């Protein structure tokens, strides 16, 4: 897998999450691999903010009941064609942040079995007023940064990553 594509509905959900700065936020990504590209169709929050108090809980504080509920719902709606494909994180100030910070979260997620060669970490944030993202996998001790695209909205003819 070399590329990740975030479809319009997932992009809209991620943008809404960035409108609420102040703490590290994270959530689940659901999608499918198609032609060597990971297509993210749904981005959910991690749950209610009061469910976790430690910043690392934004990535690691998965409430199993919440995750299973989303997984069951996605399974029902998409007939097994869409699955959990990774997690997303946004920094407290909603900026894209620095790659070195991203790698700290990547290694932590990999240690806990959340990030691997098939499950990504998608870091999201504003970059010069536009939604931007970096995506990573971690496989056999090596991290890999993936090209990240957002599908354009129907009213736009552009396919820029920045929205």
Q: Is 25 part of any domain?
A: yes
Is 110 inside a domain boundary?
yes
To 10 degrees, the CA torsion angle through 33, 38, 39, 45? 110
Distance, in Å, from the CA atom of 145 to the CA atom of 96, rounded to the nearest integer, reads 15
pLDDT attached to residue 56: 67
**156 inside domain:** no
Report helix, strand or coil for 156. Answer: coil
Reply yes or no on whether the pLDDT at 154 is more than 80: no
Asked whether residue 103 is domain-assigned, the answer is yes
Three-state DSSP state, 10? helix
The reply to whether 158 falls in a domain is: no
Pairwise CA distance, residues 134 & 148, whole Å: 6
Q: How many independent structural domains does the chain possess?
A: 1
If one compares 79 and 16, the residue with the highest pLDDT of the two is 16
**Residue-averaged pLDDT of the chain:** 83
| Residue 11 maps to a domain | yes
* Domain enclosing residue 19, as ranges: 3-150
Separation between Cα atoms, residue 109 and residue 132, nearest integer Å: 21
49 pLDDT band, cuts 50/70/90, is: low
Q: What is the CATH number of the domain that holds 145?
A: 3.40.140.10
pLDDT value at position 77?
81
Residue-wise pLDDT for 69-101, tens only, equals 777 888 878 777 888 899 999 999 999 989 999
Whether 128 is in a domain gets the answer: yes
d(CA 48, CA 43): 15
Question: Residue 85, exposed/middle/buried by CB under 10 A (0-12, 13-18, 19+)?
Answer: buried
What is the rounded CA–CA span in Å between residue 147 and residue 141?
Answer: 20
Which residues on neighbouring strands pair with residue 28, listed in sequence order? 44, 87
pTM for this entry: 0.84
pLDDT in tens, 94-140: 999 899 999 999 999 999 889 999 999 999 999 998 999 999 999 98
**Is residue 161 in some structural domain?**
no
């Amino acid at each position: 897998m070399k590329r990740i594509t975030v479809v319009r509905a997932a992009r809209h959900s991620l943008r809404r999450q960035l409108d609420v700065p102040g703490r590290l936020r994270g959530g689940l990504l659901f999608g499918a691999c198609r032609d060597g590209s990971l297509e993210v169709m749904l981005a959910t929050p991690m749950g209610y903010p009061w469910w976790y108090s430690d910043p690392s809980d934004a990535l690691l504080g998965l409430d199993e009941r919440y995750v299973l509920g989303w997984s069951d719902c996605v399974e029902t709606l998409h007939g097994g064609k869409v699955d959990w494909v990774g997690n997303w994180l946004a920094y407290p100030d909603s900026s894209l942040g620095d790659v070195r910070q991203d790698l700290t979260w990547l290694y932590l997620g990999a240690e806990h079995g959340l990030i691997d060669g098939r499950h990504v970490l998608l870091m999201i944030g504003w970059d010069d007023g536009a939604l931007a993202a970096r995506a990573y996998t971690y496989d056999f001790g090596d991290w890999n940064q993936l090209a990240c695209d957002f599908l354009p909205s129907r009213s736009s003819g552009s396919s820029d990553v920045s929205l």
